[in-house]
Amino acid sequence: MQALSHARELRDRLLRQERERSVHRVLIISLERQPERRRRFLQQLQRFPELMCRAEWVKAVDGSKLQLPEVPKSIVDPVGIEDAATPRQQVLGYVLTRGAIALAWTLHDVFEFGNDQDDEHVYLLCEDDAMLSPSFTEDFATLLAHAVRHDPFWEVLHVGYNVASTTVRPCGHSSCASNPAGCVLGRPGPLFGLYSLAVRPQGARILRERLFPVSLQVDTELSRVYQHLAKETGSLEARAYGHRPASGAALRAWGPVPKPPDSKTFEDTTQDWQVLNDKLRLEGRPSRRVLYVMSLEEEMPVDSLNLETASFTVQGSTFEVPKRYQIDEPMSHGAYGIVCSAEDQELEEKVALKKIEGVFEHITIAKRTLRELRILRHLQHENLMQVKNIFMVGSRSSFKELYVVSELMETDLASTLRSSQVLTDDHCQFFLYQILRGMKYVHSAQADEMS
């Protein structure tokens, strides 16, 4: 009974952590004609298998093909359509253009996930030229933990913005009063950059109601919603700078307090003039940021959506894997899949690559696979197998097999027991010690170790 109680405690703790720290879906907003930008974004996402396996490509509305008369008035106000149709020598940062209208239309459709009845789910929206910090999952988990402590019912976390042109006000939480500078969370105000949002379904419902129809660029409209300002009519300046309070409850929106910029923070460019207001002009756009984004230092040219693959035949089974992996030789063939040794040519290291076939052919296999992958994501210990990557071939709706990349071991216990090697007491003692050490960690169920 004690063991059963401990197992339930472990399960409940894992489920709590799953709700508090994980992302239900990663929605990548990308134009169909921009495969290179999409590929570069997914290069980054490969660093985080727990996010990669939840990624979906949202085909953005293409502004270059947009017919302004066909834009629904429920999405864009007619005065915004008129602004977009007016030729201008310079583009003010809050004025609608065809591209900005296309983004607004895309977000209007994306926010349909507000129909999700589980308001604990977290949807991470990313534009395809956003850049993730090297420690994004840890940073994001910290941000979520702070958000839950500040406001358990938070609705929006604006995690990606241009630091140079964004104001994040102090959180005002009583627990941070003694040390406001030490708080990582604040209230977003006027901002530039809609590079990434974490949104709960309730937040999506509110944003769909209050953002649309837009008459200004989305980040300007969003700034006004964050500041609980009502929609204005009239001139551009009146719509952008009016300070009439909105009715109803304010959106429960939060954002990370920016770190001071350093030499790696921004990428210089000489393209795309932007005028943020009549007095401030920026030549070139700062690099897009998600949390404290730094420039990429390495490339990982694969993704789980539209994979660029190579095929290998192993024991009569076809392995279709990203080109970065070179299959060497088969290692084992069990009831649930084939395991091969492979070389990761990007990282220049040997890995084990497991192909799980017919994932949905039998409910037992599906449950076993799901259970294994969900639990292994949380376990980080030197006596436990580390999952390095998870990918699938084909679309989310039609894939039939999964590939799991993990550490490559010289052998396994079953092979050792079948070999002609004579096992001494020292061997048995060593094997048992490693097993018990790993099991002790699994059953410890400590939240700090399971993160």
State which amino acid sits at residue 216.
L
* pLDDT > 50? residue 449: no
User: What does the pLDDT look like over 22-38, one tens digit per residue?
Assistant: 788 999 999 999 888 88
User: What does the pLDDT look like over 132-180, one tens digit per residue?
Assistant: 887 888 888 888 888 888 899 999 999 888 776 788 888 888 778 777 7
* pLDDT > 90? residue 323: no
Q: What is the rounded distance in angstroms from the CA atom of residue 296 to the CA atom of residue 130?
A: 11
Structure confidence at residue 272 (pLDDT): 29
Contact 62, 33 (CB under 8 A): yes
| Tokens read off for 390 | 């998870």
406 CB-near residues (< 8 Å, 6+ apart): 351, 352, 354, 385, 386, 387, 388
User: Mean pLDDT over residues 430-448, rounded?
Assistant: 79
Q: What is the rounded distance in angstroms from the CA atom of residue 27 to the CA atom of residue 127?
A: 9
From 309, 374, 413, 269, select the one nearest 50 (Cα to Cα).
374
* pLDDT > 50? residue 321: yes
Q: What is the rounded distance in angstroms from the CA atom of residue 369 to the CA atom of residue 159?
A: 32
Contact 208, 221 (CB under 8 A): no
Q: What is the rounded distance in angstroms from the CA atom of residue 323 to the CA atom of residue 309?
A: 5
User: Mean pLDDT over residues 326-339, rounded?
Assistant: 79
* pLDDT > 80? residue 318: yes
User: What does the pLDDT look like over 260-316, one tens digit per residue?
Assistant: 544 333 333 322 233 333 333 333 333 333 443 322 223 333 334 456 777 788 777
Q: What is the rounded distance in angstroms from the CA atom of residue 315 to the CA atom of residue 328?
A: 12
* pLDDT > 50? residue 225: yes
ω into residue 72 within 30 of 0, thus cis? no
Q: What is the rounded distance in angstroms from the CA atom of residue 415 to the CA atom of residue 395?
A: 36
Backbone angles phi, psi at 178, to 5 degrees: -75, -25
* pLDDT > 80? residue 401: yes
User: Mean pLDDT over residues 407-434, rounded?
Assistant: 85
User: Mean pLDDT over residues 224-232, rounded?
Assistant: 94
* pLDDT > 70? residue 58: yes
User: What does the pLDDT look like over 367-397, one tens digit per residue?
Assistant: 888 888 878 777 778 888 878 888 887 666 6
What is the number of residues in the chain? 451
Sketch out the chain's domains with CATH numbers: 2-283 (3.90.550), 309-409 (3.30.200.20)
Structure confidence at residue 214 (pLDDT): 96
Mean pLDDT score of the chain, rounded to an integer?
A: 79
Considering the chain, what percentage of its residues have pLDDT values greater than 90? 28
